[in-house]
Structure 1
Amino acid sequence: MRVVIDGALIGSQADLHRVLAGPLDFGPYYGHNLDALWDRLSRDIERPVKIVWENAEVSRDRMGDEAFEAIASVLIRAAEEGEPNAPDERLTVRFT
């Protein structure tokens, strides 16, 4: 699965959670916070998944560095955790 995030539409953490929750099927009980995002990305989603955050700098400008880095670090950490897995069992993240 490939999920594309249009950074021009992301101005808050809440926006990002909404964009990811649907395509990744986080379910109705998803907590819409960074801990819940980590739980879903590290354990619950079916792989392979490629997340591409286009216009990431636009999101950073709109959200602020601290909020953007908090989300980006969760995405990157979840991807790094799966690096030892076979390619068809990985989560990958790319910022453009």
Structure 2
Amino acid sequence: MEVVLDGRTLRSEEDFHQALCEALEMGPYYGHNLDALWDRLSTDIERPVTLVWTHSAESRKLLGPVFDQIVDVLKAVQQQDAGRDWQDRFDYRLE
């Protein structure tokens, strides 16, 4: 599955979490924070899934340091899956 997030619409950390929650159908109990992001992406999301973050440069400007924190979580999930040598993995692209 490929999930596309449009960075032009992600003006806050909450916008990011809301968009991802809707795209991946995370349900009402998703915590909308970085710890919850790790928990859901590292264990609950069915693979394979690729997150494509379009216009990410615009998001980087709008989100500031939070952008890098989010990307760090995405990278950690990607590395976890690679380390487990799973055929179906989480991946992401910043465009």
After TM superposition, the score normalised by the length of structure 1 is 0.93
Q: Percent identity?
A: 46
Q: Which secondary structure state, in structure 1, belongs to the residue aligned with residue 72 of structure 2?
A: helix
Size of the aligned set, in residue pairs, is 93
Cα distance in 2 between the residues matched to 1:22 and 1:62: 21
Instruction: Please tell me the root mean square deviation across aligned C-alpha atoms, in Å.
Output: 0.8
Q: What are structure 2's unaligned runs of at least 5 residues?
A: none
Query: Counterpart in 2 of 1:76?
Result: 75
Query: Counterpart in 1 of 2:17?
Result: 17
Structure 1 residue 23, shift from structure 2 partner: 1.9
Structure 1 residue 94, shift from structure 2 partner: 0.5
Query: Counterpart in 2 of 1:85?
Result: 86
Q: Which runs of 4+ in 1 moved over 3 A?
A: none
Cα distance in 2 between the residues matched to 1:78 and 1:26: 16
